[in-house]
Amino acid sequence: MRAASISDFRELARRRLPNIFFEYIDGGSYAEVTLKRNVADLEAIALRQRVMRDMTKLDMSVQTLGQTLKLPVGLAPVGMAGMYARRGETQAIRAAAGAGVPFCLSTVSVCSIEEVAATGTAPWFQLYMLKDRGYMRELLARAKAAGSPVLVFTVDLPLPGARYRDVRSGFTGGTPLQQMLTQLKDGIAHPAWTWDVALNGRPHTLGSVQAAATSGRRVTDFLSWIAQNFDRSVTWKDLDWVRESWDGPIVVKGVLDVDDARDAVRAGAQGLVVSNHGGRQLDGVLSAVAALPRIADAVGGDLEVYMDGGVRSGLDVLKALALGAKACFVGRAWAWALGADGQAGVARMLDILRAELAVAMILTGCANVRDAGRELLDRP
Give catalytic residue positions. 277
Angle between helices 19-26 and 176-188 (to 10 degrees): 100
Burial level of 321, CB count in 10 A (0-12/13-18/19+)?
A: buried
| Cα–Cα distance for residue pair 19/170, rounded to 1 Å | 9
| Residue (of 171, 207, 202, 217) closest to 17 by Cα position | 171
Give dist(CA 184, CA 126) in Å, integer.
Answer: 31
Residue 264 C-beta-side C-alpha neighbours within 13 Å: 33
Three-state secondary structure of 332-351: HHHHHHHHHHHHHHHHHHHH
At residue 69, what are phi and psi to the nearest 5 degrees? -100, 130
Concatenated DSSP letters for 227-244? HHHB-TT--TTHHHHHHT
Q: Would you say 141 and 245 are in contact if contact means Cβ atoms under 8 Å apart?
A: yes
**Which residues touch 240 (CB under 8 Å, ≥6 apart)?**
none
d(CA 80, CA 326): 27
Instruction: Find, among 19, 25, 112, 49, the residue nearest to 361 by Cα.
Output: 49
CA angle 281/76/128 to nearest 5° reads 55
Short-list 370, 364, 376, 346, CA closest to 69: 370
Nearest to 264 by CA among 289, 232, 296: 296
Which DSSP helix (H) or strand (E) runs through 54? none
Distance (Å, whole) CA 10 – CA 338: 10
Question: What is d(CA 55, CA 349) in angstroms, rounded to the nearest whole number?
Answer: 24
Q: How far apart are CA 331 and CA 149, in angstroms?
A: 20
